């Protein structure tokens, strides 16, 4: 009786265990099936993300060529055209000189199409897409077209020529090879079996990736899909997605394998001209989780213990993966130092522990990092970054930290009691870079730093993330090469820089017309001959409402971006010539004047002819105008600048290389370019000749310049000690506030009279 009772109890226990196991297994199946669906959805999202990124890359390439085409059209409209013959000549010339990559060009006038020579072109041979695009009021890429005359495929762009009496629209045909400039996403961990760019009709125009699919017999993606997946409804839906310019992922079976097909249509002005097709193995997108979970679903009914084991395995791996990801986010493997993520975390903790302390978040960037890396070599630049890392590690005090933010940028959290002491520490930050480097090609270049700071006072609740954002805003205000202030402190005025940019661009033309751009003259002093050595013409923007001048560091960078600098350079140059002509007419002593020329102005086709014509117009004697070029102009094209300098010399100009040592310094400039003057950047003296190494560098540059028969001028001289040292080292001329600040024309005349005429 007792045994039967015990057996019954055991049976009940077994039934309970079985029911519990069945319920647990069922629940596990449901949970894992749901998780598998999420993996499936995630795989589609990854495929779409990669496909969309490819579509964005493609759009950027097409937009770039459209912009290039619009610029060519602007150049055409800017030429002087008196009749249709001039139009045809100028069009042919511009296509020949500036139309790199263009196979053909035609234009429309009154619905008729013409060759650049003006010969009519039979529109029966023209693509309907081109004809439609020629009637649009905006520039448009009409897609791939077939040139029936030459039997080749090309990418066509229609650019309206508004206001042109000789043509309504310019049509430029580029080789389809421009599509090969589109690159697959470099940061994707998963490569596709096939990624191709196709027309909306399915024609394959470029294959970006192809690991194992044989597509050699197919020129049309839809034909390939019909052969591969054999699913008419899906293919029809794919065509609809492409036509509507949408993005969508499809799960299909291809040759017995579960496959993800991602499609991204690219719309422009109402039609889909191109599309990106990407094909992935589902298992590639699911990664290791796919095979593990599918295996797990098959054996759940056989072993509950295995279920627990596998679940535990994945939990452990998930934790390890999280830890690895966290380490990657918080530790830069290349430099073996904290990243910005780690910096922000530690900085917040430090500031929370020290509520009664004041902190500065400082951003330190290597000036022209990409350029320097290219010329020094990546290995040497990495060594420089490691040297900076070691310096900052030793430099930091207790409860301070730093991190590396990629592309030559370090961020630091520093204690400070007053701004003067902080300034001294910041100066030390830049000393780690102030050394001439020898590149692999033998060039000498100087690394320099710039940056920004955000300050917090004690008891403030500002976060490290917010302070870093503010420091970057301040740093962006130091990027213009004429700014001597290498590190700036954030303030609300810098925060309103966007509004300032809008104000500048809206008012720049009217300011030029109303002569609100005023020329200032900063005297130069010949310390060898104890006499004036002319001056440099500088520009300021006068605001009559506030009776203040806007500094050039605010508006010149914007003018260089929007090319208004060309107009301003020409305006300043003519004002200088007018002043020189008036000085001669009044029988006053005339001294040479240096005029700055931006790299954009120097690259203009009419630069030489215009500057020579203005000089002759005002009868300026030879050798009284010095044209100053920046180092960056020299690095862009040695040969072209050397030819420009030679022509300027023939026309009575002198030439100078400005800001030598500001970051691009290369002795190739001195070797290759026949300059009359070298102007040393303030960098050479800003540390006040603090050690023997500084003196040797400065002395060698001065002696090299003199040995090449160039006048050596030092900019930014502010103290008598600096002048005495420069005189001892053999420097010819100084310029800076020690001698005189920039002066308006009347004050400059009075300065010369008062200082040298009495």
Give pLDDT tens digits for 526-579. 998 889 999 999 999 998 888 888 888 889 988 988 899 999 999 999 999 999
High-pLDDT (> 70) share of the chain, %: 78
* Chain-centre distance for alpha carbon 519: 32
User: What's the pLDDT score for residue 310?
Assistant: 53
Cross-strand partners of 361: 413, 454
**Rounded CA gap, 189 and 182, in Å?**
18
Closest CA to 306 of 20, 612, 28: 28
Q: Which residue has the higher pLDDT, 381 or 595?
A: 595
Of 12-16, 148-152, 708-712, where does mean pLDDT reach its minimum? 12-16
The pLDDT of 441-451, averaged and rounded, is 65
- Cβ 171 vs Cβ 106: under 8 Å: yes
Q: What is the mean pLDDT of residues 7-22?
A: 60
346-370 pLDDT, tens digit each: 999 998 898 888 888 888 888 778 8
Nearest CA-CA partner of 678 in 644, 714, 651: 714
- Model pLDDT, residue 726: 92
* pLDDT over 90 (residue 670): no
Quick one: which of 404, 413, 412 has its CA closest to 331?
404
| DSSP of 23-57 | HHHHHHHHHHHHHHHHHHHHHHHHHHHHHHHHHHH
Under DSSP, the state recorded for 377 is: -
Q: Is 734 within 8 Å of 713 (Cβ atoms)?
A: yes
Mean pLDDT throughout 92-96?
86
- Contact call for residues 109 and 167 (beta carbons, < 8 A): yes
Q: Would you state the pLDDT for residue 288?
A: 43
Mean pLDDT in residue range 594-616: 94
- Residue where the block lists tokens 């305006």: 571
Spatial contact of 247 and 45, defined as CB atoms under 8 Å apart: no
8 A C-beta contact, residue 338 and residue 402? yes
The answer to whether residue 637 scores a pLDDT higher than 60 is: yes
C-alpha span between 281 and 275 (Å, rounded): 20
pLDDT for residue 98 is more than 70: yes
Q: How confident is the model at residue 47 (pLDDT cuts 50, 70, 90)?
A: confident
Judge whether residue 109 has pLDDT over 50: yes
Q: Which residues neighbour 499 within 8 Å (Cβ) at sequence distance 6 or greater?
A: none
Each residue of 317-348: pLDDT tens digit? Answer: 667 666 777 677 888 888 899 999 999 999 99
Q: Are 436 and 331 in contact (CB under 8 A)?
A: no
Closest of 167, 176, 166, 142 to residue 156, by C-alpha:
142
Q: Decide if 447 contacts 388 (C-beta within 8 A).
A: no
* Four-residue CA torsion sign, 181, 182, 188, 190: negative
Residue appearing with tokens 């560098």: 697
Distance CA 389, CA 1 (A): 83
Cα–Cα dist 307/194, whole Å: 36
């Amino acid at each position: 009786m007792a045994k039967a009772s015990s057996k019954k109890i055991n049976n009940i226990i077994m039934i309970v265990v079985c029911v519990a196991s069945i319920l647990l297994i069922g629940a596990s199946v449901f949970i894992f099936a749901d998780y598998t669906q999420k993996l499936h959805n995630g795989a589609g999202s990854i495929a779409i993300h990669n496909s969309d990124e490819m579509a964005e890359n493609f759009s950027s390439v097409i937009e770039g060529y459209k912009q290039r085409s619009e610029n060519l059209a602007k150049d055409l409209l800017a030429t002087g055209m008196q009749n249709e013959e001039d139009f045809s000549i100028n069009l042919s010339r511009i296509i020949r000189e500036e139309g790199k990559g263009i196979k053909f060009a035609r234009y429309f006038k009154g619905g008729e199409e013409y060759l650049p020579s003006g010969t009519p072109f039979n529109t029966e041979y023209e693509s309907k897409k081109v004809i439609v695009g020629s009637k649009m009021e905006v520039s448009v890429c009409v897609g791939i077209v077939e040139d029936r005359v030459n039997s080749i495929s090309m990418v066509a762009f229609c650019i309206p020529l508004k206001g042109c009496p000789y043509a309504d629209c310019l049509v430029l045909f580029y080789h389809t090879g421009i599509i090969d400039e589109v690159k697959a996403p470099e940061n994707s961990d998963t490569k596709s079996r096939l990624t191709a760019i196709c027309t909306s009709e399915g024609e394959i125009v470029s294959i970006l990736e192809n690991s194992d699919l044989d597509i050699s017999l197919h020129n049309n993606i839809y034909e390939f899909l019909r052969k591969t997946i054999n699913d008419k409804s899906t293919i029809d839906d794919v065509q609809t997605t492409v036509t509507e310019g949408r993005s969508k992922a499809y799960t299909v079976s291809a040759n017995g394998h579960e496959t993800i097909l991602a499609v991204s249509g690219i719309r422009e002005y109402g039609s889909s001209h191109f599309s990106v097709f990407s094909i992935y193995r589902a298992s590639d997108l699911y990664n290791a989780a796919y095979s593990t979970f599918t295996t797990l679903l098959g054996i759940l009914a056989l072993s509950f213990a295995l279920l627990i084991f596998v679940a535990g395995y994945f939990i452990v791996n998930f934790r390890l993966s999280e830890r690895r990801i966290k380490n990657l986010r918080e530790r830069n493997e290349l430099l073996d130092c904290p990243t910005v993520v780690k910096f922000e975390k530690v900085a917040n903790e430090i500031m929370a522990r020290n509520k009664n302390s004041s902190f500065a978040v400082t951003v330190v960037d290597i000036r022209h990092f990409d350029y320097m890396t290219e010329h020094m070599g990546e290995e040497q630049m990495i060594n420089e970054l490691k040297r900076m890392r070691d310096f900052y590690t030793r430099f930091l005090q207790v409860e301070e930290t730093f991190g590396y933010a990629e592309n030559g940028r370090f961020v630091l959290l520093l204690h400070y009691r007053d701004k003067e002491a902080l300034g001294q520490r910041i100066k030390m930050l830049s000393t780690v870079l102030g050394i001439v480097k020898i590149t692999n090609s033998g060039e000498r270049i100087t690394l320099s730093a710039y940056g920004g700071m955000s300050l917090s006072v004690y008891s403030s609740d500002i976060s490290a993330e917010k302070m870093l954002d503010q420091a970057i805003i301040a740093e962006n205000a130091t990027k213009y090469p004429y700014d001597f202030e290498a590190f700036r402190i954030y303030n609300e005025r810098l925060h309103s820089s966007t509004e300032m940019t809008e104000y500048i661009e809206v008012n720049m033309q009217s300011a030029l017309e109303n002569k609100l751009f005023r020329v200032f003259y900063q005297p130069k002093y010949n310390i060898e001959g104890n006499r004036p050595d002319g001056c440099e013409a500088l520009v300021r923007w006068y605001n009559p409402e506030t009776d203040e001048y806007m500094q050039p560091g605010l508006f010149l960078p914007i003018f260089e971006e929007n090319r208004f600098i060309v107009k301003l350079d020409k305006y300043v140059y003519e004002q200088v010539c007018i002043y020189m002509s008036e000085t001669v007419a009044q029988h006053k002593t005339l001294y040479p004047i240096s005029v700055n020329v931006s790299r954009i102005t120097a690259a203009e086709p009419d630069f030489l002819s215009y500057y020579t014509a203005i000089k002759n117009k005002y009868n300026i004697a030879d050798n009284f105008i010095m044209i100053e070029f920046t180092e960056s102009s020299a690095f862009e094209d040695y040969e072209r600048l050397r030819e420009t300098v030679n022509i300027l010399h023939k026309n009575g100009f002198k030439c100078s290389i400005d800001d030598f040592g500001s970051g691009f310094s290369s002795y190739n400039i001195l070797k290759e370019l026949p300059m009359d003057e070298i102007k040393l950047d303030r960098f050479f003296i800003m540390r006040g000749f603090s050690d023997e190494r500084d003196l040797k560098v400065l002395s060698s540059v001065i002696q090299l310049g003199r040995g090449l028969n160039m006048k050596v001028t030092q900019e930014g001289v502010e103290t008598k000690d600096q002048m005495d040292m420069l005189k001892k080292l053999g420097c010819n001329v100084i310029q800076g506030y020690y001698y005189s600040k920039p002066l308006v024309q009347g004050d400059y005349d009075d300065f010369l009279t008062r200082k040298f005429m009495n």
